[in-house]
Structure 1
């Protein structure tokens, strides 16, 4: 580690840029996962979710180059990320008007954060490892810097979603966008996509975003219709009983 070496400072600035640009994706995931938590538990969900996510990042960065070369790994990750994006677009369960137990909801949010971060952080980790050029100091710095960036970003996303519900849809679409990009860049199928469909690096993300929004909206509408049916039947029964009397 030579602080007088210009390459060190160039690598440092590259890592800062990587964390700022790519950290926003993780902030969206945390914001989406914690949006259903009670206000007093949101920060707790963010803290525990980040703790697990950072632990996974440390493991990932130790095996970054190897993981990137594993065929079909990104395809699996893309499928999982699509599922997470669709699930987060579904309406909140209210269990007959009763509040969901906070502990269970908190655990679910933390689990979602860790799983999604493990999927999404591969590109981030690879970028940091490449920019650091085997410098352990820069690798650790990049990981530590990502914590405040993601935490501040996630709290901003939560506030935006509370005020503008359309942000939830945009967040789900972003997860689909990332998933589509991961799928077409997998080492097992990437060369085929580049040869057959050169524009796949743009088409893949667009398709992923559209799939998440359309499927998520369809399932959400179906869930809302199913939840409203018993109330409509009950109102019809009461109406029939009143007429009979």
Structure 2
């Protein structure tokens, strides 16, 4: 236990927890968009179950770390590049995000043009959870492999990774409802979030084909776009009516 609670391990735990929360933002956005297509009574349940599925998938991948690391071994060569199991998962996961983002934007435009402006709903909670689980595996694989690299050389890497995953999901649970409500109340933010998912999908496909795009540039572009959109919402906000002083 002393080896687990030393300064190096605590620093790794803090860093890894922060990283897991940052990487989990993509997951929360995806869950928020899918939950928005459910009846309101089921949204909180789907959001909580979606994040719990993320915890389970990450912990299972950590415990099966030997199998995960075999995914980095070359399976075959295509176009002069070695293709690994991780590459295939990233490519198909990225294509799924591109498909999902494009489809949701198309549905959003159809809903806006419909006479009654009634949004399209997914009636099945199971269908939403299956889609969340699929993308949880993609995001979990990337974050677990990153975590393995960060904890390499530590005496107790697996307890540190599991603890960081649990702490990060507790943090995401605390803020996820606010994110879901914010996206639902602002349609332009929802379109921006879908665009972010498509950008992340492109990044995953490129990474699967060994085309390294610095993630810092991508996250900077996303933050810049979000700030511009927030300024736009602020400028369009109706001014408060002036206070009328009553004279007696």
Q: TM-score, normalised by structure 2?
A: 0.66
Unaligned runs of 5+ in 2: 74-83, 223-248
Q: Aligned partners of 1:175 and 1:99: how far apart in 2?
A: 20
**Per-residue CA shift, 1:181-227, capped at 9, x if unaligned?**
222222xx31xx46xxxxx557x969xx9xxxxxxxxxxxxxxxxxx
Cα separation, 1, equivalents of 2:187 and 2:119: 20
Alignment match, 1:109: 128
RMSD (Å) for aligned C-alpha atoms: 3.2
- TM-score with structure 1 length normalisation? 0.67
The answer to whether structure 1 residue 16 and structure 2 residue 17 are counterparts is yes
Shift of 1:22: 0.9
- Give the distance between the partners of 1:174 and 1:101, measured in 2 at CA: 22
Closer, same or farther: CA 66–4 of 1 in aligned 2, 3 Å: same
Equivalent residue runs for 1:1-245 within 5 Å: 1=1, 2-3=3-4, 5-61=6-62, 62=64, 63-69=67-73, 70-71=84-85, 72-73=87-88, 74-91=90-107, 104-133=123-152, 135-186=157-208, 189-190=209-210, 193=211, 200-201=213-214
Which of the two has greater helix per residue? Answer: 1
Q: Distance in 2 between matches of 1:180 and 1:68?
A: 20
SS of the aligned residue for 1:46 comes to helix
Q: Label 1:106 to 1:82 Cα distance change in 2 as closer, same or farther (>3 A).
A: same
Distance 1:153 1:173 in 2: 21
Deviation of 1:3 after TM superposition, in Å, equals 4.5
Work out the CA distance in 2 between the residues paired with 1:177 and 1:101: 25
| 29 and 15 in structure 1: CA distance in 2 versus 1, 3 angstrom threshold | same
CA shift for structure 1 position 107: 1.8
How far off is 1:4 after superposition? Answer: 5.3
Distance 1:55 1:3 in 2: 22
- Structure 1 gaps of 5+ residues are 195-199, 210-245
Q: What is the DSSP-based 3-state SS (H/G/I as helix, E as strand, rest coil) of the residue aligned with 1:91? A: helix
Report the count of equivalent residues: 196
Q: What CA distance in whole angstroms lies between the structure 2 residues aligned with 1:30 and 1:169?
A: 14
8 Å Cα contact 1:81/1:175 also seen in 2: yes
The superposition leaves residues 78-99 of structure 1 with CA deviations (integer Å, 9 ceiling, x where unpaired) of 11221122233242699x9899
Task: String of CA shifts for 1:140-196, please: whole Å, max 9, x gaps.
Answer: 10221232223233312211122211111111111122122222222xx31xx46xx
Q: How far does the alpha carbon of each residue in 1:77-136 deviate from its partner, in whole angstroms, 9 at most, with x for none? A: 211221122233242699x9899887x332222122111222222221222232233522
CA distance in 1, matches of 2:38, 2:17: 31
CA distance in 2, matches of 1:99, 1:205: 30
